[in-house]
Structure 1
Amino acid sequence: MRDDDGPSHEGGSQQEEARAAAERAREINLTMDLCLRIGEMLLSSGAGAADVTATMRSVADHFGLRTADIDVTFISLSMSHQRSPDDVPTLMIRHVTQRDIDYEDLTAVDHLVRDILTDRADLYLARSRMATIVSLGHAFPRWAVTIAWAVMAAAVGVFLGGGAVVAVVAAVAAVLIDRVQLVMARRRLPFFYLQVAGGAIATLLAAAVSASPVEVDPSVVVTANIILLLAGIGLMGAVQDALTGFYLTASARLIEAMMATAGIIAGVALGISVAEGLGLELGQLVPGKVRASDLPAVLGGAAVSAAAFSVASYAPRRAVLPVGLTTAAAALVSQAVTASGFGRAAAAGAAAFFIGLVAYAVAGRVRVPPLVVAVPAIVPFLPGLSIYRGLTFLADGGYFVSQGIFALMTAITVAIALASGVILGEYVAQPLKREARRLENRLAGPRLVGPYRAMTRAERRALRRSTDE
């Protein structure tokens, strides 16, 4: 007896298999595209290549792409996947576009990744949320960012020991620098020339004010604005990449940081030369010890400058105050190390280590990535003072050239100490937090409120599903 339904059933099963294979290929493409978009946002916001790779790997593994290959460089991200040795591998590449640092978008992506890994967002919801994050504008209007830069420069001037007049002049210079750089950026000029313009504006304005009857230390004004220009350089990510083995990305980031810093040096040197040609004296900034009566102003200046930078970087509002408090505590650590007789590099390294140590816990409390806390907190300790001293010594020539070279080398040492100190603090903080949780679970007795033990990951997922339902 002939089975008439045999061929039709076989054809139907083949069609279903083809549709299932096509659907699976579509999901693979969508998953890879989501991973690349997440990686682009993280990398362009200053995250290290190791962190970007680990995040993309976690999302890919969660959606079933456990054999995907991920490659991260400074300007591009690539991801490939091959389901079996007989299949043609799928390869996707996404170029990283330079964008303004937006810590609110970075925080939103970080929360999205957490929701993906805890099954709060499936592939299609995650893609929709990612598209929303990318398409939304900044949290603050652009004029608010300009005000934040002005507040930051004024606070850095106070942190360096300047008075109210220095703070006002530094704020005015910051507004001019930001507006001029914005116009130049719209004309697509390279970032190097933006830094040259910023350094020249700060120096010439300080020289002009010094020629007026107003009593002001122009060297403090210039140094405050050098720190403002240094704040946007991603040195910490470069050092992290070098320490974690991503040498190609580290080299590219270091070259970018060197070019941006060279732009500042060229701009300030140009301003000093013009000022000397006009017969204006800028003077050399000689750092002195902070008196006990000046300590509150120094700590307050450090806190306000870091908080203002976080606002200028569009950090979530809930993180602004913790960033300021963390920076004030780090400034106290730095002053204590300096009072003990250590140099600027040691003081900066100790402050950066403290920042990295507490940033992990502070970020967890306010629900932001540790990067959002750590980067603004190191801003007041950037080596603007050493750069300015080195340039003024080099401008004097003769005997002072060697001192100028030494001051610039000190600036490089301080910058490396800041970046490596923060990263070391992060490395120490993460296992300490894990051990603290284990100790808490072991020592906890009968509790009147809350669970008596830490829930497993499966239990947390089941609880979230029941809550959502």
Structure 2
Amino acid sequence: MDQHEDTGKDREKDAEKDAEEQAERAREVHLTMDLCLRIGEMLLSSGAGAADVTATMRSVADHLGLRHAEIDVTFTALSMSHQRSVDDVPTLMMRHVQQRDIDYEDLTAVDHLVRDVLTDRADLYLARSRMATIVSLGHAFPRWAVTVAWMVMAASVGVFLGGGPVVSMVAAVAAALIDRVQLVLARRRLPFFYLQVAGGAIATLLAAAVAATPIEVDPSLVVTANIIMLLAGIGLMGAVQDALTGFYLTSSARLIEAMMATAGIIAGVALGISVANGIGLELGQLVPGAYGISDLPGVLLGAAVAAAAFSVASYAPRRAVAPIALITAIAAGISQAVTVAGFGRAAAAGAAAFFIGLVAYAVAGRVRVPPLVVAVPAIVPFLPGLSIYRGLTFLADGGFFVSQGILALMTAISVAIALASGVILGEYVAQPLKREARKLESRLAGPRLVGPFRAMTRAERRELRKQSAD
């Protein structure tokens, strides 16, 4: 009898132990899935492509023991499911993307966290703790510094377009007004479309007001500089990358968002032009002229400073600012050379963007940031603010000029697509095709702008741990 009682107690203990082990495994599955979703949310909200987000989440999940997890990424939500065996009930978790702020400081921190997880320098619990710290901490410099960075960017774009000191000063003042007004409207939870309308209207009306004074200034250059500032926050490159890598649903949503944001700029500038014409102020049509040799240093300097200022406004790590400026200056030289050779603006922008994508991979590895942090600021000076302004002024004139306005707006679209596709093509060419990376890269069907480029082998992990111990 005692033997039967002991056997029954042992079975109960074994059953309790098995239940505890299953509960612990289930808990680790939930924690791993939550970590992957939080990483994916941070990457997606910062402008990373859906292919990059999916591959990064899958890499972390595989490394932490969740083999063959199903991951789905859309524009507004991420979902992840895992089933340990055919007999088990699958676990499904979802996370919605709450906000979309370009924050390259957090993006870089998450990228480093992912690399530490994949190299066994951070386990699940340390990774979750670091992720919570990244989300909760503020930035290294105050918000007013971002406004100053926008001012510097707008002034530099004015120099890049061939404007003088007055154009740069007025563009900087307009940039400060736009940033503070948009910040107030954002706190009141107005949609991004209305923020863009306000920005376009402020830039146009301020330029018209300055033009009405004895101060000699080209208001069209002021408006164009601020249009480029407003275009800088639109994630068109992520939309094109998603379209090229097969994530058509996410690409369509991002394209619609980009179109709405651009439509807001167009509506705001058109409103400003109408008001200016109504009170008898002439803004004029911006007709780009050929750059002379003496103007080239100003063009290169303006492009470099504009890209660097945008990277600061996006909280990029300080170590990346100087390389971004240098890459942009070289790209501006390439763009000017292509233009002088007789090619159109789309071809010039595409050539500059291809160079940016080609070198961003190597430079990003040197300064320890994702290539996205280098590529996006570098293409900012080449955004088609000039074509948008010309198209709007032609449309406002009406009559014979309507067809020219439509052509100018179509040119703006072609330039934007050339910039995005050129950067991505450069990434395709630049990224090394190594045998260890092929298994991971075959799942991506596209270039990598964020996340690990390949899974490390066991020998490499052992060597890295040995170096860390030494």
Range of TM-score over shorter length: over 0.9
Query: Residues 332-366 of structure 1, C-alpha deviation per residue, up to 9 Å, x if partnerless?
Result: 11011001100000000000000000000010000
Name the counterpart of 2:224. 223
Shift of residue 263, structure 1, vs aligned partner: 0.3
Name the counterpart of 1:458. 458
Q: Distance in 2 between matches of 1:243 and 1:460?
A: 32
Deviates more, 1:219-228 or 1:3-12: 3-12
Query: Residues 217-263 of structure 1, C-alpha deviation per residue, up to 9 Å, x if partnerless?
Result: 10000000000000000000000001101011000000000000000
Name the counterpart of 2:145. 144
Shift of residue 468, structure 1, vs aligned partner: 4.1
- Write out aligned runs for 1:323-362 (5 A): 323-362=324-363
Shift of residue 6, structure 1, vs aligned partner: 2.0
Deviates more, 1:38-47 or 1:184-193: 184-193
Tell whether 2:99 aligns with 1:98. Answer: yes
Q: Distance in 1 between matches of 2:305 and 2:391?
A: 27
Name the counterpart of 1:367. 368
Name the counterpart of 2:179. 178
Shift of residue 272, structure 1, vs aligned partner: 0.4
Query: Residues 171-209 of structure 1, C-alpha deviation per residue, up to 9 Å, x if partnerless?
Result: 000000001111111111111011000000000000111
- Paired AA for residue 151 in structure 1: V
Kept in 2, the 8 Å contact 1:107–1:368? The answer is yes
- How many residue pairs were aligned? 449
Shift of residue 466, structure 1, vs aligned partner: 3.2
- Paired AA for residue 256 in structure 2: I
Query: Which SS does the other structure have where 2:432 is aligned?
Result: helix
Query: Residues 405-435 of structure 1, C-alpha deviation per residue, up to 9 Å, x if partnerless?
Result: 0000000000000000000100110037x59
Name the counterpart of 1:163. 164
Give me the CA root mean square deviation. 1.4
Q: Distance in 2 between matches of 1:270 and 1:141?
A: 33
Kept in 2, the 8 Å contact 1:104–1:139? The answer is no
- Paired AA for residue 198 in structure 1: G
Query: Residues 285-331 of structure 1, C-alpha deviation per residue, up to 9 Å, x if partnerless?
Result: 10111101110100000000000000000000000000000100100
TM-score by length of 2: 0.94
Q: Distance in 1 between matches of 2:97 and 2:281?
A: 45
Q: Distance in 2 between matches of 1:113 and 1:372?
A: 16
Q: Distance in 2 between matches of 1:113 and 1:90?
A: 23
Name the counterpart of 1:48. 49
Kept in 2, the 8 Å contact 1:157–1:220? The answer is yes
Q: Distance in 2 between matches of 1:3 and 1:36?
A: 51
Kept in 2, the 8 Å contact 1:78–1:91? The answer is yes
Q: Distance in 2 between matches of 1:354 and 1:280?
A: 41
- Write out aligned runs for 1:200-349 (5 A): 200-349=201-350
Q: Distance in 2 between matches of 1:95 and 1:151?
A: 35
Name the counterpart of 1:411. 412
Query: Residues 106-126 of structure 1, C-alpha deviation per residue, up to 9 Å, x if partnerless?
Result: 000000000000000000000
Q: Distance in 1 between matches of 2:67 and 2:387?
A: 49
Q: Distance in 1 between matches of 2:243 and 2:467?
A: 43
Tell whether 2:78 aligns with 1:77. Answer: yes
Shift of residue 81, structure 1, vs aligned partner: 0.8
Query: Residues 360-414 of structure 1, C-alpha deviation per residue, up to 9 Å, x if partnerless?
Result: 0010000000000000000000000000000000000000000000000000000
Q: Distance in 1 between matches of 2:227 and 2:351?
A: 22
Kept in 2, the 8 Å contact 1:197–1:267? The answer is yes
Query: Which SS does the other structure have where 1:92 is aligned?
Result: strand
Name the counterpart of 2:451. none
Q: Distance in 2 between matches of 1:24 and 1:313?
A: 40
Identity %: 83
Query: Residues 29-81 of structure 1, C-alpha deviation per residue, up to 9 Å, x if partnerless?
Result: 00000000000000000000000000000000001111211000000000011
Kept in 2, the 8 Å contact 1:169–1:221? The answer is yes
Runs of at least 4 residues of structure 1 off by over 4 A? Answer: none
Shift of residue 2, structure 1, vs aligned partner: 7.0
Name the counterpart of 2:24. 23
Kept in 2, the 8 Å contact 1:150–1:175? The answer is yes
Shift of residue 467, structure 1, vs aligned partner: 4.2
Shift of residue 138, structure 1, vs aligned partner: 2.0
Name the counterpart of 2:449. none
Query: Which SS does the other structure have where 2:79 is aligned?
Result: strand
Name the counterpart of 1:452. none
List gaps (5 residues or longer) in structure 1. 438-455
Shift of residue 11, structure 1, vs aligned partner: 1.7
List gaps (5 residues or longer) in structure 2. 438-455
Tell whether 2:121 aligns with 1:113. Answer: no
Query: Which SS does the other structure have where 1:91 is aligned?
Result: strand
Q: Distance in 1 between matches of 2:69 and 2:460?
A: 27
Query: Which SS does the other structure have where 1:85 is aligned?
Result: coil
- Paired AA for residue 351 in structure 2: A
Name the counterpart of 1:446. none
- Write out aligned runs for 1:31-46 (5 A): 31-46=32-47
Q: Distance in 2 between matches of 1:164 and 1:11?
A: 84
Q: Distance in 2 between matches of 1:67 and 1:379?
A: 39
Query: Which SS does the other structure have where 1:294 is aligned?
Result: helix
- Paired AA for residue 403 in structure 1: Q
Query: Which SS does the other structure have where 2:284 is aligned?
Result: coil
Q: Distance in 2 between matches of 1:468 and 1:117?
A: 15
Kept in 2, the 8 Å contact 1:32–1:60? The answer is yes
Higher-RCO chain (CA-CA 8 Å, sequence separation at least 6): 2
